[in-house]
Amino acid sequence: MTRTNTDRRHLRVKHLPQRTCLACRQVKAKQELVRLVRLADGSVEVDPSGKKSGRGAYLCGVPECWETGLRGDRLERVLHTGLTQVNREQLVNYGKSIQQGVS
């Protein structure tokens, strides 16, 4: 018995995009990570939809990854931008809110 194109279409497994956490370097499904995006003005913000235009970086939802990712210049190097003190504080507060949501 031969298979038609419609039969093959039903056998396909849906592709799940994978991304790497910039802190722990683990590859995970894109939906499991939080995307940070560099905007046109150079600021960085959390992108919950994962669809904003701009250069992106990903962090796990684990507080340790947020601390590691925001420590030093790791995030700035990945996004090719500088973080202002206010911008860094906003991201740290978001990381803390993730920690409180898990506990």
> Using CA of residue 38, residue 44, residue 45, residue 48, what is the dihedral sign?
positive
pLDDT surpasses 60 at 1: no
Q: What is the pLDDT of residue 103?
A: 45
Q: What is the pLDDT of residue 2?
A: 60
Domains of the chain: 16-102 (3.30.1230.10)
> Using CA of residue 76, residue 82, residue 87, residue 92, what is the dihedral sign?
positive
- 55 phi, psi to nearest 5 deg: -70, 135
Q: What is the mean pLDDT of the chain?
A: 88
- Model confidence pLDDT, tens digit, residues 9-33: 667 788 999 999 999 999 999 999 9
Q: How confident is the model at residue 5 (pLDDT cuts 50, 70, 90)?
A: low
Q: Distance between CA 83 and CA 4 in Å, rounded?
A: 55
Q: What is the pLDDT of residue 6?
A: 59
Q: Distance between CA 86 and CA 5 in Å, rounded?
A: 55
- 53 phi, psi to nearest 5 deg: -75, 135
